[in-house]
């Protein structure tokens, strides 16, 4: 950790003093819990406790040092430099900048300069590909969208697809081949590979990332045929292995479970964060399917019911109707109890092995409600378990689904099982561990690593480094990473936007990866690398892929091939993994009885090898290890957009932390008062099986007790300017016996570390931002979301409006101006019932609008630049709160307070009803940001973009990632959400040219956030068009304006959230209807 | 006691006053006149790698603007033609001309010809050709009499106030769409025809900031 950011806190006696004060405060809060109705919202612990430090903190507009210029130049020297640069600029301006125009020599067909092309391709996350469309400006890819025709994306994207464009333009990527760490050439590599692999008796170990690419799999077969002494294993630190093994335990074959959430009325997720891309390979479709069933427009509509049982508070958990917090190791006994109760209710033979279950969860009230709902919804319900849960839980869940009649192969079955062609057991951790052990015992002389980084991310009890030392290593990698530094040959990999390749989706649809640009650093794709090794000469990736599709997929004619490239998949026969209707094996019952027995009659023990039973009171504490929401296993660590995105739940940027509940923190003696300011965190030492790391502790309300969650992927060295030094490497805690959970010892240090958390930034001081109720309450009181229902009285100014005989809103001091009739009037509606807080809107916006990355120090000073943020509110009890997510872009107020205070009219209203920001007029007074009630304006305190673009040795590379349609902002300029005005104007011009109408048709203008949102939470359109979707949304009962009492008339409004809990799990709050 | 101030100092305040008025006015006039795009930018005629004459091609030979600037009706850019377009004719005409050497070289090597940009807008101004030519803003209106230019120069100031002259009163400038590329076009009753065209094409030239700045 950076020594600068560490500082010792107050002296011992002082801290004792404060701690007493603080615990009193907290005590007070806990005591007044009865008064804390579930609809009391809070953003952070500090806000809940309302201590003095917090108030001090929140009453500042910007952070304490936000208006100071800090490192690396002091304010004075900065002014000097600025003075000089202004003087220089004065002289420089006398001379006209000479710009060159470089037309093509031969004009390519179909290219119109200034109109971007869109190409279809796919993005592979592990072995699951999603269809994407890439915007390409004159040969330069600049933005990724989902491919509407592709079954795994349907026009939507996750964080990873949006951010991949920045990874391609990452100047820290490896720029060439290295031999023993020294720069080498491709010719040398080809020669070396040819001579090394000429000997067919070589004992070669191939280690690959899990891939569904038909070409790679063809080369795999070729490799194993060519080298009789070779072995092939796949290694992924996080994956579906437990689910496959669970299916093997239940059905005797490794099958992929595909959950069709849209076919289920009741969903039970057992430690499964299936809506988040780091936790599930099909998260994008899962999110769409779940949210599709929750689009309530009238009181006649229904909703599905989502139960989540989990330890860590996840996005899926926050979206649940009922969430039960449970230590990860208690999920297994809970599952068995669920199976036992279902056996009692249905008498299904599949669940007989669970008849003897007797644990504390049998009479749990959540379980009670679940059983009732599941039994009522047989055939249209769904139980799912997370990848982090042990094999036995997956097997038990399979039996439950079978017993409830949810399994089938038809179009109505909520759960289907599929034979995945490329899954053969080589992807299990055991086969990887076994292979590395074999290397260490001298069984292999050569290792070929296709894109993995096991030195960094393998379990700590597997000696990968030792294995690399003993063999000749050929390693293909994006970066010169931890593994590459030990490899004999390092080959730089082409980004997936630079290569020909192919892949299959989660359900098996075949697609081709087509390049958008020549490899920036002459990298090779996986298939080119592997083919070079096998054949001893380099062949273009195109030929390799085309050969596969010709020989194995029967695509013979160019016409067919071009259609596939154009569509992004084979439209008529996409290809799917074969669905089967499996039967439970004979051994299943015995295996389950054993598992149930191991879980303990009393139930509290851990259940499997991956979650060892806890021993003794000191190690009652359990560690949960999860992939990170942004960096996954660390592969996206050098991506600035992802690094700076606030975590969906903790809202921390640039760091990973040890998450725990308030009670656990108190029990461990972590001084919680050091936590309440939300700007620093105490460092704790975590020890698992003798391996120790130091990591900041962070309180996550709603986290399970006696349990701590860490995420991986941080704490890198020598990778790149973004990844280096951010967070803590938690992989040392992981081992083959402690993959997802482990017993942990915790020791508290007296050191703190500064955190960059956006959680408590831009405080809202207890105003009503989020409105929500239950589905049943909504049916009784459809008008629950109006201002009067919430506050008990009308919006101020309404009475006067009626007295004046007006009807267009409360009276106002300011003149209302409406745009002329011929202009469209833009508006947005955000459905809180669909939003689960993933944050893809923020990244999509960042990619579209050239928003800079500013770094941890700047974020901690509350200078974050995101135009759309996702606010997260807690409601109710600190130990088991409800969470609400609320995306907040600029509201484009009709009576905008920002416009009234700008001294230079840099922010004004446009004829089409947008609050426009004119950068070239802005002089940086920041009055507008002060006067904005929603705090959506962002100020360029520094020349962020310029510094970001010009640092390093190849600034032009990062410049290429910029959207040419949007101005890159300069220091001293205010900026904010523009409703993607560049897209609006482009469409207005096109519509005008093609139809003569000044108003684009509904659905033709999509804002970047709207286009990416997997839940379709955001709708945007013309308010003068009565049939537009946005108008339909705004007409529903759930529609409300944020801060309506201010009478600023925001164009962006929200649809209130509805929850659909089981009646027995919901206590109606006192409401004023 | 000697006088502190010599006699000439009696006139000093007067001279100072007159002097500062003169100097002040000169200064204001200098900045107003010499720093304006009308003075600084109009007439900018950089040397081009190929001495291409619009006067010869568009004027004497009467080639239409769109023969080379093909995408002007579709795109925001009026594209500078590819070398290929030049070679359509010049692989037969003047094949040995030394002035055309860069063109032949570009055609052989595939390297682009580096033309120097003449009409230049700042980065924060987004001008779209297709939005203008499709509603009858003539090429000539902004680029001047290209058919008479031996060397291309900037004909108009391209300042914001100059843009707004037309955006505020488009009827003074628009012409029938089929006359867009005509050089030296004049209408007898511009205002009357202009009003008709504005109504016909539904022209509402934006006068708010983000019509052009975003």
Residues B95-135: tens digit of each pLDDT: 888 989 999 999 999 899 999 999 888 888 999 999 999 99
- DSSP sequence for B63-78: --HHHHSTTTTTSSS-
* Residue the block writes with tokens 């200034």: A114
Lowest mean pLDDT among A95-104, A163-172, A305-314: A95-104
Give residue A618's pLDDT band: very low, low, confident or very high (50, 70, 90). very low
Q: Give the Å distances, CA to CA, from A265 to A289, A314, A415, A739.
A: 11, 21, 13, 33
Other beta carbons within 10 angstroms of residue A152's beta carbon come to 26
| Bond preceding residue A221 cis, omega within 30 of 0 | no
Interface membership of B164 toward A (CB under 8 Å): no
Interface membership of A993 toward B (CB under 8 Å): yes
The answer, yes or no, to whether residue A81 has pLDDT greater than 50, is no
pLDDT in the model for residue A739: 85
State the average pLDDT over residues A621-627.
91
In this complex, do B210 and A99 lie within 8 Å of one another by their Cβ atoms? no
DSSP element (H, E) containing B59: none
> Minimal Cα–Cα distance from A106 to chain B, Å?
5
DSSP A4: G
DSSP A956: H
**Candidates B71, B82, B214; nearest CB to A112:** B71
Give residue A1014's pLDDT band: very low, low, confident or very high (50, 70, 90). very high
pLDDT in the model for residue A805: 75
Taking Cα atoms as reference points, which of B92, B93, B90 lies closest to residue B102? B90
User: Is the sign of the CA dihedral B15, B20, B22, B23 positive or negative?
Assistant: positive
In this complex, do A910 and B210 lie within 8 Å of one another by their Cβ atoms? yes
Interface membership of B74 toward A (CB under 8 Å): yes
> Minimal Cα–Cα distance from A157 to chain B, Å?
26
Contacts of B210 in chain A (CB under 8 A): 910, 914, 916-918, 978, 981, 985
* Residue the block writes with tokens 């590459």: A484
Interface membership of B8 toward A (CB under 8 Å): no
Task: Return the number of CB contacts < 8 Å for A and B.
Answer: 133
Max distance between CA atoms of chain B, in angstroms, equals: 97
pLDDT in the model for residue A955: 66
Residues A280-328: tens digit of each pLDDT: 999 999 999 999 999 999 888 999 999 999 999 999 999 999 999 998 8
Give residue A86's pLDDT band: very low, low, confident or very high (50, 70, 90). very low
pLDDT in the model for residue A709: 93
Asked if residue A574 lies in contact with residue A703, where contact means CB atoms within 8 angstroms, the answer is no
DSSP element (H, E) containing A796: none
- Quick one: what percent of chain B has pLDDT higher than 70? 100
**Candidates B41, B74, B113; nearest CB to A103:** B113
pLDDT in the model for residue A845: 94
Asked if residue B115 lies in contact with residue B121, where contact means CB atoms within 8 angstroms, the answer is no
Lowest mean pLDDT among A165-174, A550-559, A652-661, A1062-1071: A1062-1071
Interface membership of A102 toward B (CB under 8 Å): yes
A766 or A1040, greater pLDDT: A1040
> Minimal Cα–Cα distance from B176 to chain A, Å?
15
State the average pLDDT over residues A515-531.
92
In this complex, do A114 and B107 lie within 8 Å of one another by their Cβ atoms? no
pLDDT in the model for residue A73: 41
Interface membership of A1027 toward B (CB under 8 Å): no
> Minimal Cα–Cα distance from B119 to chain A, Å?
10
* Residue the block writes with tokens 């669940």: A351
Lowest mean pLDDT among A15-24, A292-301, A465-474, B75-84: A15-24
Pull the structure tokens for residue A563.
Answer: 């259609």
Give residue A814's pLDDT band: very low, low, confident or very high (50, 70, 90). confident
pLDDT in the model for residue A157: 94
pLDDT in the model for residue A721: 83
In this complex, do B41 and A96 lie within 8 Å of one another by their Cβ atoms? yes
Asked if residue A321 lies in contact with residue A1059, where contact means CB atoms within 8 angstroms, the answer is yes
pLDDT in the model for residue A1047: 86
Task: Tell me the backbone φ, ψ of residue A518, rounded to 5 degrees.
Answer: -65, 150
In this complex, do B209 and A918 lie within 8 Å of one another by their Cβ atoms? yes
Interface membership of B47 toward A (CB under 8 Å): no
Alpha helices per DSSP H over A646-743 = 662-668
In this complex, do B214 and A910 lie within 8 Å of one another by their Cβ atoms? no
Give residue A500's pLDDT band: very low, low, confident or very high (50, 70, 90). very high
In this complex, do A985 and B120 lie within 8 Å of one another by their Cβ atoms? no
Interface membership of A985 toward B (CB under 8 Å): yes
Interface membership of B84 toward A (CB under 8 Å): yes
**Candidates A981, A989, A998; nearest CB to B214:** A981
**How crowded is the C-beta side of A424, counted as CA atoms within 13 Å?**
11
Interface membership of B111 toward A (CB under 8 Å): yes
Give residue A23's pLDDT band: very low, low, confident or very high (50, 70, 90). very low
In this complex, do B213 and A967 lie within 8 Å of one another by their Cβ atoms? yes
The answer, yes or no, to whether residue A1040 has pLDDT greater than 60, is yes
pLDDT in the model for residue A752: 85
State the average pLDDT over residues A985-998.
90
Give residue A87's pLDDT band: very low, low, confident or very high (50, 70, 90). very low
State the average pLDDT over residues A173-178.
90
State the average pLDDT over residues A497-521.
92
Contacts of A104 in chain B (CB under 8 A): 82-84, 112
**SS3 for A503?**
strand
- Quick one: what percent of chain B has pLDDT higher than 90? 65
pLDDT in the model for residue A767: 66
pLDDT in the model for residue A626: 92
Give residue A8's pLDDT band: very low, low, confident or very high (50, 70, 90). very low
Taking Cα atoms as reference points, which of A666, A668, A662 lies closest to residue A687? A668
In this complex, do A993 and B134 lie within 8 Å of one another by their Cβ atoms? yes
For an interface test with A, give the residue of B157, B160, B210 to mutate (most A CBs within 10 A): B210
The answer, yes or no, to whether residue A262 has pLDDT greater than 70, is yes
In the stretch 53-72 of chain B, residues with CB closer than 8 A to chain A read 71
Residues A236-248: tens digit of each pLDDT: 999 898 999 999 9
State the average pLDDT over residues A820-847.
92
Pull the structure tokens for residue A521.
Answer: 């650093």
The answer, yes or no, to whether residue A114 has pLDDT greater than 50, is yes
Residue of B nearest to A970 (CA): B124
Residues A924-968: tens digit of each pLDDT: 999 999 999 888 999 998 887 766 656 666 667 777 888 889 988
pLDDT in the model for residue A289: 93
Residues A415-436: tens digit of each pLDDT: 999 999 888 888 888 899 999 9
pLDDT in the model for residue A1029: 93
Interface membership of B204 toward A (CB under 8 Å): yes
Give residue A674's pLDDT band: very low, low, confident or very high (50, 70, 90). low
The answer, yes or no, to whether residue A812 has pLDDT greater than 90, is no
State the average pLDDT over residues A821-837.
92
Give residue A524's pLDDT band: very low, low, confident or very high (50, 70, 90). very high
The answer, yes or no, to whether residue A72 has pLDDT greater than 50, is no
Its pTM stands at 0.87
**Candidates A113, A911, A914; nearest CB to B77:** A113
């Amino acid at each position: 950790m950076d020594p600068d950011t560490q500082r010792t806190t107050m002296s011992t006696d002082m801290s004792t003093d404060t701690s007493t004060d603080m615990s009193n405060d907290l005590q007070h809060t806990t005591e007044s819990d009865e008064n804390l109705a579930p609809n009391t919202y809070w953003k952070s612990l500090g806000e809940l406790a309302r201590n003095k430090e917090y108030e001090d903190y929140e009453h500042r507009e910007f952070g304490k040092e936000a208006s100071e210029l800090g490192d690396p130049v002091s304010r004075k020297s900065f002014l000097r430099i600025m003075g000089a640069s202004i003087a220089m600029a004065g002289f420089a301006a006398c001379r006209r900048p000479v710009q060159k125009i470089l037309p093509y020599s031969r004009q390519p067909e179909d290219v119109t300069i200034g109109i971007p092309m869109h190409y279809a391709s796919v993005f592979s996350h592990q072995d699951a590909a999603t269809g994407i469309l890439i915007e390409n400006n004159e040969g330069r890819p600049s933005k990724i969208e989902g491919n509407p025709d592709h079954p795994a994306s349907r026009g939507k994207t996750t964080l990873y697809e949006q951010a991949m464009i920045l990874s391609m333009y990452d100047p820290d990527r490896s720029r060439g081949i290295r031999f023993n760490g020294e720069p080498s050439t491709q010719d040398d590599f080809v020669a070396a590979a040819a001579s090394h692999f000429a000997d067919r008796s070589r004992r070669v170990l191939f280690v690959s990332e899990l891939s569904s690419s038909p070409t790679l799999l063809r080369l795999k077969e070729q490799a194993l045929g060519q080298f009789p002494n070779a072995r092939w294993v796949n290694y992924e630190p996080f994956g579906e292995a437990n689910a496959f093994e669970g299916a093997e335990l239940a059905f005797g074959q490794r099958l992929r479970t595909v959950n069709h959430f849209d076919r289920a009325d009741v969903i039970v997720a057992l430690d499964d964060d299936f809506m988040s891309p780091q936790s599930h390979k099909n998260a994008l479709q899962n999110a769409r399917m779940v949210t599709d069933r929750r689009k309530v427009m009238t009181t006649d509509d229904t909703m599905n019911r989502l139960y989540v049982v989990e330890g860590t508070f996840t996005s899926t958990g926050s979206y649940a109707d009922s969430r039960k917090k449970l230590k990860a190791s208690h999920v297994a006994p809970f599952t068995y109890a669920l199976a036992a109760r279902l056996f009692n209710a249905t008498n299904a033979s599949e669940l007989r092995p669970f008849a003897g279950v007797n644990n504390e969860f049998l009479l749990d009230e959540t379980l009670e409600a679940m059983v009732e709902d599941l039994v009522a919804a047989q055939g249209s319900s769904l139980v799912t378990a997370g990848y982090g849960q042990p094999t036995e839980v997956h097997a038990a869940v399979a039996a439950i689904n079978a017993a409830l009649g949810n399994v089938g192969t038809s179009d109505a079955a909520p759960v289907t099982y599929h034979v995945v062609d490329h899954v053969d057991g080589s992807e299990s951790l055991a086969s990887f561990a076994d292979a590395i052990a074999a290397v260490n015992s001298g069984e292999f002389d050569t290792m070929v690593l296709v894109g993995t980084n096991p030195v960094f991310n393998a379990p700590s009890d597997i000696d990968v480094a030792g294995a690399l030392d003993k063999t000749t290593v050929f390693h293909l990698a994006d970066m010169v990473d931890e593994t590459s530094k030990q490899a004999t040959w390092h080959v730089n990999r082409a980004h997936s936007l630079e290569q020909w390749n192919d892949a299959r989706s989660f359900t098996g649809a075949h697609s081709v990866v087509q390049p958008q640009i020549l490899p920036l650093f002459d990298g090779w794709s996986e298939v080119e690398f592997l083919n070079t090794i096998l054949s001893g000469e380099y062949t273009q990736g195109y030929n390799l892929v085309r050969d596969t599709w010709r020989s194995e997929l029967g695509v013979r004619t160019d016409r067919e091939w071009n259609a596939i490239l154009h569509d992004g998949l084979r439209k008529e026969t996409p290809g799917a993994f074969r669905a089967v209707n499996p039967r439970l094996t004979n051994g299943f019952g015995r295996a389950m009885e054993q598992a149930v027995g191991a879980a303990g009659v009393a139930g509290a023990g851990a259940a499997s090898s991956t979650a060892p039973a806890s021993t003794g009171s000191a190690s009652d504490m359990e560690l949960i290890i999860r992939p990170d929401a942004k960096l996954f296993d660390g592969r996206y660590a050098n991506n600035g957009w992802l690094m700076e995105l606030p975590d969906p739940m903790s809202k921390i940027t640039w760091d990973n932390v040890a998450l725990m509940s308030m009670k656990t923190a108190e029990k461990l003696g972590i001084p919680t008062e050091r936590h309440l300011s939300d700007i620093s965190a105490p460092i704790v030492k975590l020890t698992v099986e003798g391996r120790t790391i130091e990591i900041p502790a962070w309180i996550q309300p709603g986290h399970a007790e006696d349990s701590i969650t860490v995420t991986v992927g941080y704490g890198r060295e020598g990778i790149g300017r973004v990844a280096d030094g951010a967070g803590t490497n938690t992989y040392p805690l992981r081992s083959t016996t402690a993959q997802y959970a482990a017993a942990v010892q915790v020791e508290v240090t007296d050191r703190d570390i500064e955190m960059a958390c956006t959680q408590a930034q831009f405080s809202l001081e207890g105003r009503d931002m989020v409105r929500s109720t239950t589905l049943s309450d909504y049916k009784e009181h459809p008008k629950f979301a109006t201002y009067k229902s919430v506050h008990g009285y009308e919006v101020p100014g309404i009475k006067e409006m009626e007295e004046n005989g007006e009807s267009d809103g409360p009276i106002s001091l300011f003149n209302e101006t409406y745009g002329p009739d011929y202009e469209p009037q833009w508006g947005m509606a955000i459905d809180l019932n669909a939003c689960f807080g993933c944050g893809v809107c923020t990244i999509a916006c960042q990619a579209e609008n050239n928003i800079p990355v500013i770094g941890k120090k700047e974020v901690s000073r509350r200078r974050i630049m995101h135009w759309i943020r996702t606010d997260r509110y807690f409601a109710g009890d600190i130990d088991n709160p409800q969470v609400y997510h609320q995306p907040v872009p600029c509201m484009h107020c009709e009576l905008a307070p920002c416009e009234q205070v700008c001294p230079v009219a840099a922010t004004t209203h446009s004829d089409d009803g947008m609050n426009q920001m004119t950068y070239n007029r802005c002089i940086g007074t920041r009055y507008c940001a002060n006067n904005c009630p929603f705090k959506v304006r962002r100020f360029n305190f520094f020349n962020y973009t310029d510094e970001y673009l010009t640092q390093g040795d190849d600034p032009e590379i990062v410049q290429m990632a910029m959207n040419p349609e949007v101005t890159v902002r300069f220091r001293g300029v205010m900026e904010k959400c523009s409703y993607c005005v560049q897209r609006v104007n482009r469409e207005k011009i096109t519509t005008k040219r093609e139809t003569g109408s000044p108003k684009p048709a509904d659905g033709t203008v999509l804002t970047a956030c709207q286009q990416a949102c997997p839940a379709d939470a955001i709708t945007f359109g013309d308010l003068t068009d009565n049939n537009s979707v946005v108008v339909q949304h705004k007409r529903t009962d759930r529609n409300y304006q944020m801060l309506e009492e201010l009478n600023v008339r925001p164009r962006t409004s929200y649809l209130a959230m509805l929850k659909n809990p089981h009646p027995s799990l919901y206590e109606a709050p006192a409401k004023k209807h | 006691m000697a006088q502190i101030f010599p006699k000439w100092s009696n006139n000093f305040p007067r001279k100072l006053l007159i002097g500062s008025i003169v100097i002040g006015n000169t200064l204001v006039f200098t900045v107003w006149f010499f720093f304006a795009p009308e003075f600084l930018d109009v007439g900018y005629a950089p040397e081009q790698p190929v001495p291409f004459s619009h006067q010869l091609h568009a004027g004497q030979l009467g080639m239409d603007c769109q023969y080379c600037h093909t995408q002007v009706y579709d795109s925001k850019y009026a594209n500078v033609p590819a070398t290929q377009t030049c070679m359509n004719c010049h692989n037969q005409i003047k094949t040995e001309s030394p002035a055309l050497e860069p063109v032949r070289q570009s055609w052989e090597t595939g390297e682009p010809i580096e033309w120097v940009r003449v009409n230049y807008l700042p980065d924060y101004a987004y001008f779209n050709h297709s939005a203008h030519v499709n509603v009858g803003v003539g090429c000539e209106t902004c680029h001047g009499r290209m058919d008479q230019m031996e060397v291309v120069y900037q004909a108009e100031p391209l300042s914001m106030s100059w843009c707004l002259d037309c955006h505020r009163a488009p009827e003074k400038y628009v012409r029938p769409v089929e006359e867009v590329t005509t050089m030296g076009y004049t209408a007898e009753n511009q205002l009357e025809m202009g009003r008709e065209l504005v109504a016909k094409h539904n022209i509402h030239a934006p006068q708010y900031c983000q019509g052009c700045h975003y």
